[in-house]
Amino acid sequence: MYKKLISIDLDGVLNEYNGNFNEKEIPQIKAGAYEFLKNLSENFRIEIFTTREKTLTQKWLKDNNLQDFVEDVTNVKNSFTSVFLDDRAINFAGDYESAKTAIKKFIPYWKK
């Protein structure tokens, strides 16, 4: 069975990131993240898209028993990705004025 690829951001999506970046430590797993990835992995291939160091991210995934749900960790945008899930993203729907308004008003959920 062919599974589409989903790229999921680490900070603020899978963990309790609050804007205080520490390059040597990844915040604790977000409640529900394990179940979310487990469920998604049944029908999708998953890669973690992050600027964090790959080895540290892989260790965090293993420490949180998520490694079996994730195919790869990368900081390179994959052209085969069907969907990006990120806490700092705006969906472009074809209208630049709406996009400009959304950009001006954008606040990550963890800053609200």
C-alpha angle 91-80-100 in degrees, rounded to nearest 5:
20
- What residue spans define the domains of the chain? 4-111
Which amino acid would we find at residue 8?
Answer: I
Low-confidence ranges of the chain (pLDDT < 70): none
pTM of the model: 0.91
Cα distances from 6 to residues 19, 21, 56, 105, in angstroms, run 24, 24, 21, 26
Domain 4-111 bears CATH identifier 3.40.50.1000: yes
DSSP state of 27: P
Tokens of 7: 């790229």
